[in-house]
A and B are shown apart, each in its own frame.
Chain A
Amino acid sequence: MTTPAPAIDIQDLRLAYGRREVLHGISFQVPRHAIFGIIGPAQSGKTSLLRCLNRTIDFTAGATTSGTVRVEGADVRSMRNVYELRRRIGMVAPLPVGLPLSVYDNVAFAPRAAGVRSKSELDGLVETCLRQAALWDEVRDRLDSLGTRLSGGQQQRLTIARALSHRPEILCLDEFSIAIDPVTTMRIEDVLKELCRSMTIVLVTNLTQQARRLADRTMFLWNGEVVETGPTEVLFGESPRDPRTRDYVRGVFG
């Protein structure tokens, strides 16, 4: 019996903006149906890494990559249908972005872009995704109101619902909690624990304790290099392999 391919397999990924290299050959694997935490201070390349994953890095002029990035076994850098790739990866940005559309249309946007036209299918999807994002009960009576008028915490859950709406196999969250209150954060964290039964979750976070609470495995990224990857309890335990990891998770620097 062969072990299944990891959800994400990155080997020697380098990324440069013009002449400035920001990822210096990083390698790691994310197993299926795990919550994979990526921690590290600002400017360590976390967001850039995610953008290599769904090829939105293509939109940045002067960005060049090398190495291999595999998502569910498929080579991302040589992929022709990037839209299909982006649908397989749900991406949640740091700041909540409600599109200037109704709540319903926010969630139905991606399925429609992918060609779903059936009203009943869209209705079902919208409800499922809003439920998964723990937002349904708050907006079920005002699906017609503007997504941009929701509160910050609601908009962030709307963003998560939108990221789930195209049925991704991988969900990436980039510092999803920096704009929302602790109570909402805890609710979303519960949602994530639920979701990882059906998908792989990559959790990029500045809050080391959040990774500690949620992640099965954690990677410490620093200045564009992987300092250490391993089971979360090892990184946060008494003796991580690298002393910098211990200093960072204990708040000595960063």
Chain B
Amino acid sequence: MFTATPQVRRKARTEAAARTFFALMAAAMVVPLLAIVGYVVYRGWPVLSWTFLTTNPTHGGTQGGIWSALVGTIYVVFLSLAISAPIGVLAAVYLNEYAKDTWFTRVVNLAVVNLAGVPSIVHGLFGVGAFVYFLNVNGGKKSILAAALTLAVMTLPVIVASTKEALASVPVAFREACWNVGATRWQTIRRIVLPNSISGILTGVILQVSRTAGETAPVMLTGVTTWKMIEQTGLFLYHPITDQCMALSMHLYYIQTQASGAPKALPFAIAAVLIGAVLVVNAASIAVRVALRSRRKW
């Protein structure tokens, strides 16, 4: 039989205390999320309904639903991802699979890191200059495309970073085995590297949906308007190049700070929809990851 010496008992106590402390910190992660979601839904409840979601705002945005703003957010977010995802993923494949350590790749990697650190309002200002005026995508006026391009510039470095990480998780030994039998780099990437990193790549890309959906500053300056009267419903409310749109984030900001006569619950209801949309996308991303992970082969 073992008899516990005082030393052993002391160690066991320390171990238990440490474990509890770390577990508490981990549990603390859940608190803000629940608090935010709970509070927002509670305050927005009087306004929240299916009709609120599916009808357009009226009276300068202070009455009615939020459909056109929701659609506007979808337009901006997915157009921006359609631009940034291919560029970011391909750039990351180059950096991780082809590039040697030269001054060029160091400059690119440095640019990626620093681009990720630029504040979003600065991206917005850059977007106005670069896309609205210089590239003139809509005759010097704000447009959905300009906003999407601005968000694309903003999300690119994060997509590059997350894709590089996903690619790097595929063991080097696999690549060497392929090269040893005379496969080119592309054959190796196509047959081995991409199929085994695609779940991580997609996760990184989809997570950018939640980030861009909440951005206000960059889109406010480049393509999102505070109020636009729209009669029809459905998904085709805007022309991506020639129109400006409403968006949830902007709508929330406008109602809370500028508009008068809106019900007190309205900003919270908008916030609840924004959070709900983000959670739906995140859940989809987890589903994709799980589905693709189960096909992982080592």
Bound together, the chains give a CA A146 to CA B298 distance in angstroms of 8
A23-31, A108-116, A203-211: which one contacts chain B? Answer: A108-116
Q: Which residues of B contact A148 (CB under 8 A)?
A: 297-298
Given A100-B297, A101-B297, A109-B191, do A166 and B181 touch, yes or no (CB 8 Å)? yes
C-alpha gap A59/B191 in the complex (Å)? 19
Binding site secondary structure of chain B: helix
Q: Size of chain A's interface in residues, with CB distance under 8 A?
A: 29
The stretch that binds B, out of A82-90, A134-142, A192-200, A240-248, is: A82-90
Whether B106 sits at the interface, judged by CB under 8 Å, is: no
Report yes or no: A86 in contact with B298, Cβ–Cβ below 8 A: no
Q: What string of 1s and 0s marks CB contacts (under 8 Å) between A154-190 and chain B?
A: 0000010011011000000000000000000000000
State whether B183 touches A113 (Cβ < 8 A).
yes
Bound: A90/B177 CA distance, A? 11
Chain A contacts for B177, CB-based, 8 A: 93, 97, 99, 159, 162
The answer on a CB contact under 8 Å between B180 and A86 is: yes
Q: State how many angstroms separate the Cβ of B184 from the closest Cβ of chain A.
A: 6
Cross-chain contact B181 with A110 (CB below 8 angstroms)? yes
Contact A83–B298 (Cβ < 8 Å): no
Choose among A59, A93, A166 the residue that contacts B182 (Cβ–Cβ < 8 A): A166
Please state if B100 and A54 are interface contacts (CB–CB under 8 Å).
Answer: no
Q: For chain B residues 189-223, which have a beta carbon within 8 Å of chain A?
A: 191-192, 195-196
Q: Is A56's beta carbon under 8 Å from chain B?
A: yes
Query: Cβ of B187 < 8 Å from any Cβ of A?
Result: yes
Q: Is A95 an interface residue (CB 8 A)?
A: yes
Any chain B CB within 8 A of the CB of A91?
Answer: yes
At the interface, yes or no: B173 with Cβ under 8 Å from chain A?
A: yes
Q: How far is the CA of A110 from the CA of B182 in the complex (A)?
A: 7
* Chain B residue at minimum C-beta to C-beta distance from A147: B297
Query: Judging by beta carbons under 8 Å apart, are B179 and A56 in contact?
Result: yes
- Bitwise interface map of B from 153 to 191 toward A, beta carbon under 8 Å scored 1, else 0: 000000000000000000001101111111110010001
Residues from chain A with a CB closer than 8 A to the CB of B180 are 54, 56, 86, 91, 93, 163
Indicate whether B101 reaches chain A with its CB closer than 8 angstroms.
yes
Cα–Cα, bound, A87→B195 (Å): 24
Asked if residues A110 and B183 are in contact (CB atoms below 8 Å), the reply is yes
A61 within 8 A of partner (CB): yes
Contacts of A95 in B (CB 8 A): 173
Q: How far is the CA of A83 from the CA of B184 in the complex (A)?
A: 7
Task: Known contacts A61-B101, A93-B177, A162-B177; decide if A99 and B182 are in contact (CB<8 Å).
Answer: no
Contact A100 B179 (CB under 8 A): no
Within 8 Å CB of A87, what residues of B?
181-182
